[in-house]
Structure 1
């Protein structure tokens, strides 16, 4: 992810300047590239003292994959030498127990409303190791996995029957499978070696396991992809009646396999291709009866709930465990070091597995989230959802209205036709065209300080 310029609001009567529809995928704000080393290394027991802890989200990160796709800039390494996964789980357990003690230091026991295993590929672990991972989440971290939504990410080769049986038995409610394309040639183009037959077999095993929600990830914008091949992948996915589908635009990021072939320079023709494919996929899924939740997410209306009703990504805290996870309090977001380069990732993982329990007592790298940044985060993460932002909830939290806090940004969105209705109502919602431009809307709400920090980040 790279820093981008924020479009300015157009003067009255002027046509808004054009912007790239694919500035950046904003899945969290502020992004990790805006984090810096915290000179005071605050103790977790102090950071969490007095924080609301009745609806936390728990995230366990597994930084291993069998291969690394050409588009991937996630914190993960290829394979694991003998003993590394055991050493990693040992460190994860030490961290979980230390963090749980810190959270309860003020006398308030934490309650988890949702849990997720991500990566990397959590199902890179063996079935026995997945059992231990669940034990760590329950016994060390304190989450009741069978009582809360549990989402797990998987790849087709690692979605084996024995692993899926463990996940189903331990309470997994959602399994997300990274397919990306059902066309073998496109998968190879994205540097993701796989065969459709193997993908179909994995999907069959997931359905046999009885996990309530199946999500399938697909990517559009792959070199050589056409509307016909894109439709082919969409229809192949729909044949499994997945409860959720995520449609991701391809990005070419620095230090990735595809990024080494060429920089992600502005390419109007590619932008137009991705927009065209997005609209085609959106319309096909809407016609099939799916409900659009965000630019990327589509959900079957009869699908069982996969998230806790009382969990809100804008306000609730996150407890991240593992060397690639991040944690959120109301005033500080923190994590371990971040890298994309494989050598740097190996170094960070080696450092993590060698840490004693006391080294997990403090936050080392992060970014403080003050009043302005909290407002931006709430607006951004709400507005990027199809349901939009309830102004009353924003006002109840901050004592102000978003129209008064961000008049220039909202005026700019309205001038481009990205808002449904005007900016004065009690619900701010993106129009269909606004949702299509979510990857421009998000970066437009970054603060100048965050954009400067991201631009100054030394990639590694």
Structure 2
């Protein structure tokens, strides 16, 4: 048994690296005109990945870090669908909409808080705007099992959705009550049965460790129950406690949160449990059955990480639509307004609801490659890096190599002239291992409120 207590020294604030640079570097210094120029000059031969943010929820889940709008009013939903349509129309004047779409994702909020007819209306407008969906396009939706019915699942199936992700978080009733999300096992099973009835190719479940009142023993029970559902993929996330950013998290009693060594034990047990039950680990927090396409991507070195998690659909420009949505170009990130009034005002003025972003310089692109390789594959081929960027890795990253030596001494990784590779235990601390390559960490080092803790 590993001495997890010794690894608690790595428990410090750090990014999750869904992007590099992270969203903390986004600013309005990247202006609207420059954004439009970037959008209009995109390479038309590159495919598109679409993300739609459907932000509404009826009630708050206290653990949630997403940008959500709490409502039960039908008129707000109808109004938002109208603004999405108008945003798509403006977008179509700045981008070649005949480009191939290889991925589309509905995130939230709770996308299935919208009715079946509203979902159908949104999807039809998307397909009218972007008519060239690839035959094998990955079309997915996040689903709260408390808000899904057969009509909604039928509409998604008829419109080509082939992947769904169900939020479970934890099956323990005490934990569920503490985070304000009571969701019995039977309800989750019924939702997953519905997904299979309507031929969803891949069914994912999300779990979170680090929640109030969780322990290794209670999480073992959650894993046992989750396994009976036989999902195609698991996503097992470390709870990010950021009450200075999310007011609802202030309702969580911090004294009930598990300590870092317990969280490491939970994650180590999860890895061992899922791998012994036919799943393989993918990146930092995902697990999938061996026949999953993610593994072919790993073997080819083609696994990618973006704001939607791990994907095989790399080499595409990500277009974000809706409140707070984030897009990604070859050398830029852009984000829509977070405030609904500002979002609507921009569209009313005939403009895209762009608020801020960042343009990547050459150093950003070099560091982005290294960090995303480590986050996706837990290793970096140094020779491949040298050839790709015509840069001598050990010279360019001399400071990072020095900073990684303690990790090597703790058997968390191995380094030589040709590669950096994480050990089994090192995968638990991959965020920490990436941080020495992050040029922006120094300016955030003094702040305890920049990021959630890595452990």
Same fold (TM over 0.5): yes
Indicate the residue corresponding to 1:88 in structure 2.
Answer: 80
3-state SS of the aligned residue for 1:177?
strand
Q: TM-score, normalised by structure 1?
A: 0.83
Q: CA deviation at 1:318?
A: 1.1
Q: Is the contact between residue 44 and residue 102 of structure 1 (CA under 8 Å) also seen in structure 2? A: no
Tell me, yes or no, if the aligned pair for 2:235 and 2:286 is still in contact at 8 Å.
Answer: yes
> For the Cα contact (< 8 Å) 1:291–1:299, is it kept in 2?
yes
- How many corresponding residue pairs? 430
Change (3 A) 1:64 1:443: farther
2:330 maps to what in 1? 330
Aligned residue number for residue 309 of structure 2: none
Sort the Cα spacing of 1:357 and 1:454 in 2 relative to 1 into closer, same or farther, 3 A: farther
Q: 1:144 Cα shift?
A: 1.6
Q: CA deviation digits over 1:225-268, x for unaligned, max 9?
A: 22222111111111121110011122211243563147979x9x
- Per-residue Cα deviation, 1:171-197 (whole angstroms, up to 9, x for no partner): 112100011012222111222232222
Question: In the alignment, which residue of structure 1 is the partner of 2:42?
Answer: 51
1:221 equivalent to 2:214? Answer no
Correspondence 1:110-149 to 2 at 5 A: 110-144=99-133, 147-149=136-138
> How far apart, CA to CA, are the structure 1 residues paired with 2:335 and 2:446?
16
State the SS of the aligned residue for 1:214.
Answer: strand
Change in 2 beyond 3 A, CA 1:283/1:306: closer
Q: Say whether the 8 Å CA contact 2:142–2:164 is kept in structure 1.
A: yes
Pick from 57, 64, 74: which aligns with 2:66?
74
Report the alpha carbon displacement of residue 293 of structure 1 after superposing the two structures with TM.
Answer: 0.5
| 2:286 paired residue among 289, 293, 297 | 297
1:273 paired residue among 257, 262, 266: 262
- Mapped to 2, the partners of 1:177 and 1:16 lie a distance apart of 31
Paired position in structure 2 for 1:259: 249
Contact 1:420 1:431 in 2 (8 A): yes
Q: Is 1:422 aligned to 2:415, yes or no?
A: yes
Q: Quick check: 2:39–2:95 contact (8 Å CA) kept in 1?
A: yes
Distance of 2:37 and 2:213 partners within structure 1: 53
Q: Secondary structure at the match of 2:250?
A: coil
SS across alignment from 1:103: coil
The answer for the alignment partner of 1:31 in structure 2 is 22
Residue number among 186, 204, 214 corresponding to 1:197 in the alignment = 186
Cα distance change on mapping 1:458 and 1:185 into 2, 3 Å? closer
Shift in Å at residue 39 of structure 1?
6.3
Given the superposition, is the C-alpha separation of residues 248 and 305 from structure 1 closer, same or farther in structure 2, using an over 3 Å criterion?
A: closer
- Residues 258/86 of structure 1: CA separation in 2 closer, same or farther (3 Å cut): closer
CA deviation after TM superposition for structure 1 residue 59, in Å: 0.7
Q: Does the 8 Å CA contact 1:114/1:148 hold for their aligned counterparts?
A: yes
Tell me how far apart the structure 1 counterparts of residues 23 and 174 of structure 2 sit (CA, whole Å): 33
Name the CA distance, whole Å, in 1 between partners of 2:285 and 2:48: 24
1:166 aligns to 2:155 (yes or no): yes
Give 1:31 deviation, angstroms: 2.8
Local SS of the residue matching 2:32: coil
Q: Which stretch shifts more, 315-324 or 139-148? A: 139-148
Deviations 1:3-32 (A, max 9, x none): xxxxxxxxxxxx999421664433223332
Equivalent in the alignment of 1:285: 274
Residue of structure 2 equivalent to 1:10:
none
CA contact (8 A) 1:93 1:136 kept: yes
**Greater alpha carbon shift after TM alignment, 185-194 vs 252-261:** 252-261
Distance 1:221 1:416 in 2: 23
Q: Deviations over 1:321-352 (max 9, x none)?
A: 111211112232111234xxxxxxxxx12332
Contact residue 35 and residue 334 of structure 2 kept, 8 A: no
Aligned-pair CA distance for 1:361? 4.3
**Cα displacement (A) at 1:52:** 3.3
- Show the counterpart of 1:318: 318
TM-score normalised by structure 2 residue count? 0.84
Larger relative contact order (CA 8 Å, sep ≥ 6): 1
**Residue in 2 that maps onto 1:151:** 140
Equivalent pair of 2:378/2:421 in contact (CA under 8 Å) = yes
- Structure 1: any 5+ residue segments left out of the alignment? 1-14, 339-347
Map Cα deviations across residues 61-96 of structure 1 (whole Å, 9 max, x no partner): 111123221111211111252322222122112222
Contact 1:156–1:178 (CA under 8 A) maintained in structure 2: yes
User: What's the CA shift for 1:408?
Assistant: 2.4
Label 1:191 to 1:441 Cα distance change in 2 as closer, same or farther (>3 A): farther
2:387 pairs with 1:400: no
Kindly state the Cα deviation for residue 316 of structure 1 after the two structures are TM-superposed: 3.8
Matching residue within 93, 98, 105 for 2:90? 98
For the residue of structure 1 that corresponds to 2:83, the secondary structure is: helix
Closer/same/farther in 2, CA of residues 372 and 50 from structure 1, 3 Å limit = same
1:149 match: secondary structure: strand
Bigger mean CA deviation after superposition, 412-421 or 65-74: 412-421
Q: Is the 8 A contact 1:44 1:99 kept in 2?
A: no
Counterpart of 1:60? 52
- The structure in which a higher percent of residues are strand is 2
